[in-house]
Structure 1
Amino acid sequence: MNKLKADGHYLVIWTCRAGDQLTEAINWLQEKGIPFNRINDNHPESVAKYGGNARKVYADLYIDDKQVGGLPPWRDIYEMLGHEEK
């Protein structure tokens, strides 16, 4: 995710956590140095474009740990996006 952020991607964490569990998740992400731009919230440009802040966060690409087949290694995800290793 650090490489994706460095490449200029806008990263949104979408989680079902709320309240104390959400706070714990945010703290964990920050402690681990995992970058993100927003959590459970749409990019302001998307809100303006579509006239509201929908519950489901809009994205060009979703990376989900519960996807069919499981989560591939991050190196593979990065390569799938067409980025070259630096």
Structure 2
Amino acid sequence: MVPDRLTLQTIEIKSTETFRQYVPRWRDISAQVEPPLTKTEIAVLFISTLKAPLYDKLVGSATKDFADIVISGELIENAIKSGRMEGPESSKGQHP
């Protein structure tokens, strides 16, 4: 079955997956959507699949190129891993 825009919104990063592993998996699936996605749709749909803190930090980047969003996401993930930024565990309970 060919994936659609709704399918893309339900894809999530697996608990065993890094951001860098998630990006090509999501992008490969998005390339199969018909009619093809616009650059803006790719960015918006991709960001909508992310959870805090990635979503919180990247939501303002929805108008950027997908490659720029990926670079930003990798920087954020590295900052979390190195302890320079709080990860998802500390984000729980902050949103109503």
**When you count strand as a share of all residues, which structure comes out higher?**
1
State the TM-score, normalized to the length of structure 1: 0.29
**When you count helix as a share of all residues, which structure comes out higher?**
2
